[in-house]
Structure 1
Amino acid sequence: MSRDPFSFNNPYLITRSLYPENQETPIHFIPSNHTPDHLFFRRNHFPYPTLNQSRFWIPIGGSVLNPTIFSNYDLLKLPSKTVNTVLECAGNKRNFFEPNVFGEQWEKGATSMGKWKGVSLGTLFEITGLEKDAKEVIVEGYDYGNRTDLDQIYTYTRSLPLEKALHPDTIIAYEYNDKPIPFKHGFPFRLVVPNWYAMASVKWIKQINIINTTFEGPFQTVDYVYYPKKENDEGSFLVTINNVNSTIQQPLHMEKLETGRHMIKGIAWTGKGEITTVEISTDGGETWSNAAIAHTDGVHDYTWSTWSFDWMVSEKGEFTILSRARDSYDRVQPPNPFWNQKGYGYNAIDQIKVKVE
C-alpha cells in the first residue's frame, strides 16, 4: 500500500551534543529544496559567541592596497548575489565508517540546503585592492574556545586559496531563505563557499586578512585533513570539495512495508558539476535501475537533486535497497568509503533495509 512519506509536518532536529550544540537535520523528512532555518543542521566547535554592536563590522586587511572596515550598511548597498547551495558537514555520515572513528557521530543529517543572499567576496576585494603577492584569504569567526588537544584558546579560523575566494559565488551572506541569517547559523555575516564542505563557510565573521604565505591554523592543518592511514599521518591532504553522494529518504531504514507499490525517494548532490544519474537497486546490488531525477524550477546552482523510483514489490521478505549517484565529472559513489582517521567525506553507496510483510 502506498502512502505519502512526507505527510508529517512536525519533524525535529536530532541531537548529537548539547555543549557545544551539534544537531542533525531530520533529512528523511525534508521534502523541499529549501531547508527551514529551524531544521538546518547545527555544527559548532565552541559555545555560541556573544552578540554585540562590534559584530556588525568586518575589517579587511593584510596584503591589500586599501585596508577597509565594512559595516552592515556598506554591504547592503553593494550589488547582491544569491546562491542556492548545499552545505554539508565534512563529518556527515561519520557514524557509518568501519572501523569506527572518533568525533561527532553524525548519521545522514549533517547536510542542509537553502538560498543565501549576500555580497561576493571578490566585490569587496575590488574596493580594497589586492597586493600582487596575495595568496590566501583568512576568515576568522567570533566563536572561540579551548582545544584540549593543543591546550590553547583558538578562534574558529579558516583560509581559502585566492582563486576560490575570488569565485563570484563565494559570498559573505546576510540572508538565508529571504530572511536575516538566524543567529545560530552565523548572524549577522557568514561566509558561504559552494561546492566545498561546510567547514569553509565560517560563521559570525570577525575579520578577514589576506596573506602571501600558507595559513597553518589548527582548523586548517590539524582538523579537516584526510589522514588515510591509522598508524601515522603519511599521505594526508586537505578536505575541500564535496564528494558525490546520495541519501535514501523514504522508506526508512528497517521499516516494515506491505506488498504493493512504494515510492523510493531521496536526494543526491556533488561538489563538481551536477548529478547526471541516480541508480537504485532493490536486491542488494545485483541489478540496478535508473531513478527519475526532478529538476526544480530550472534552478540548479549548487543544490541537491531530488529523485524517485517506483518500486512494485509482490513478494514478502527482507530487502536491501541501495542508491548510487554519478555526476557530470563521472564521479560515482563507491561501494566502500575512503576510510580516514577523522571520518571525513563519507560517500559510499547509500543503503537501507526494509521488511515486506
Structure 2
Amino acid sequence: MTAPARRTLLKALAAAPALSALAVPQAAAATGIVKPLPPEYFTLRGTNAEARYESFADTGPLTPNARFFVRNHTSTPVLDATGWRLTVWGDGLHGGGPVHFTHGQLRDLPAVTRTALIECAGNGRSLYATQQGETVTGTPWTLGAVGAARWRGARLSDVLRLAGIAGDAVDVMPRGLDDEYVTGGVSLGRVRRPLPVAKALDDVILAYEMNGEPLPYDHGHPVRLVVPSWVGIASIKWLGDIEVSRAPLASPWNTEYYRMFGEAYPPGGSAPLTRQTLKSAYELPFGATLETGRTHRLTGRAWSALAPVREVDVSVDGGAHWRPARLLDAPRRNGWVRWTAPWHPHRPGPATLLARVTDADGNTQPERAVPNTQGYLFNAVVRHPVTLV
C-alpha cells in the first residue's frame, strides 16, 4: 500500500462513525463506565475502576464480569454488534486489502476458549511510592487492576490468514473504536499498539464472550483482543481495525508509554513492554484489624506471566520467618492460583504480612522493584500492614 493510500484509509477509518449507539445507563455519566460500580467492589480512579483486591476472597478462580476492573483511556462506547465490522488492511496483506469481517462472519469461524488474566501494566504502581518512596506518574493503582476470565472467540491467526497476510509481514496494529485520547491538549488518536506477527499468530484471540456471556460494553463489546500473558494495553478493546505491515509499526502506546524510563534504563527507554510480571498478595484490606487469640484463615492469590506458579511462601512477622502456603488451584500458564495459610496471633500491635511467589522457571518476587518513572511492572513482595487487637 502506498503512503498516500495508507493515509486515505486511516482518515476514512478515523472518520467512520463508531456504530449505532444505544442508550447509555446513568452510571456512565460521571465515569464514562457503563456498569454499576458499588463502592464495596470498586475504587474509582478517573475514567477507571479498580477492583478492591480484598473483595476477590468470595469469588472463585474466575473474576465475575460485574467485579472485573475497568481500564479506559476515555469512556466506554456503547456499540451495536449487528453494525460492527472489522477492517484488516495494510501492505502486509497480499494486495494490501482492505478486507472486512462482520460479527456474524467472525462467529462462523472455529471458536477457541482461553482462560487468561488481563492485568494493567501499572498494577501496583502506588506501591512504588508507599513502599519504596519512589515518585512515579500515572493512575495510582494498588493491586486490583487485574482479573481472570474465560474468553471465547476466533483465533487472530485465522482472521489474518483469511485476510491474506504476507509471509514477510512483521507487525500488526489493532486499534479500538473508543474516542481519541487527548492529553495536554494534543490528540494521540484512538488507542492502538503494535503486536509482533509471531505473537499475533500464536495464542491471541478476538474475543466476543467473557465468562460464558456476550462481552460486556466496558470490557470491549462487540469484540476485543485477548493477548495472554502480555501487559493489558495489548488486549485492545472495542476492536475496529488491524493494520498489517511489512515494516515495524509505532504508536504513542509503545513509544511514549508502556516502556521503562529511569536511571536503570537506557536514555531512550527500554524496549516496549510485552510480558507482564509476577505478584502475590493477601485478600485483606491494607490496615485490616484482626483479633488475637484465634486462628485466622489467611487467603490470597499469586500469579506469574512468565511460567506457572510453583509455590507461595508467607510471613507474618515482616519477613523474619517464612513458611509455605497451601495452593488451592492447580497451577497453569496465564492464570493465578488461590492460596491459604492459617495464622494464630497472640500479641496485640502492628504486624506486617508478606507473601512471595516463585514460578516454575524459578522467578521469585524480589524485596524491591527496580523503579521506573511511569511505575510499570511492580513485582516486589508486598508489605501488608495489619493491626492485632
- Give TM-score scaled by structure 2 length: 0.83
CA deviation digits over 1:260-316, x for unaligned, max 9? 2111110011111201011101111111111111125xx835211101111122233
Instruction: Map 1:190-229 to 2 at 5 A.
Output: 190-229=224-263
Give 3-state SS (helix, strand or coil) of 2:369's partner. Answer: coil
2:145 is aligned with 1:110: yes
Letter in 2 for 1:262: H
1:236 deviates by: 2.3
- Counterparts of 1:223 and 1:55 in 2: how far apart (Å)? 32
Alignment: residue pair count: 342
**What is the aligned-residue RMSD (CA, Å)?**
2.1
For residue 41 of structure 2, what is the aligned residue in structure 1?
12
More strand as a share of residues: 1
- Counterparts of 1:196 and 1:35 in 2: how far apart (Å)? 18
- Give TM-score scaled by structure 1 length: 0.90
Q: CA contact under 8 A between 2:264 and 2:370: conserved in structure 1?
A: no
Q: CA contact under 8 A between 2:114 and 2:152: conserved in structure 1?
A: yes
Instruction: Map 1:266-277 to 2 at 5 A.
Output: 266-277=300-311
2:87 is aligned with 1:41: no
For residue 190 of structure 2, what is the aligned residue in structure 1?
155
For residue 206 of structure 2, what is the aligned residue in structure 1?
172
CA deviation digits over 1:84-140, x for unaligned, max 9? 111100111111113221211111111111110001111112322321220011101
- Counterparts of 2:350 and 2:65 in 1: how far apart (Å)? 37
- Counterparts of 1:301 and 1:75 in 2: how far apart (Å)? 26
Q: CA contact under 8 A between 1:228 and 1:234: conserved in structure 2?
A: no
Find the partner of 1:64 among 85, 93, 96. 93
Letter in 2 for 1:305: V
Distance 1:339 1:315, change over 3 A: same
CA deviation digits over 1:142-190, x for unaligned, max 9? 12324334723411011111111011x2100000010110011110000
User: Percent identical across equivalent pairs?
Assistant: 31
Give 3-state SS (helix, strand or coil) of 2:135's partner. Answer: coil
2:283 is aligned with 1:254: no
Q: CA contact under 8 A between 1:47 and 1:145: conserved in structure 2?
A: no
More helix as a share of residues: 2
- Counterparts of 1:282 and 1:55 in 2: how far apart (Å)? 55
Letter in 2 for 1:171: I
For residue 10 of structure 2, what is the aligned residue in structure 1?
none
Q: CA contact under 8 A between 2:181 and 2:191: conserved in structure 1?
A: no
- Counterparts of 1:118 and 1:71 in 2: how far apart (Å)? 13
Unaligned runs of 5+ in 1: 1-8
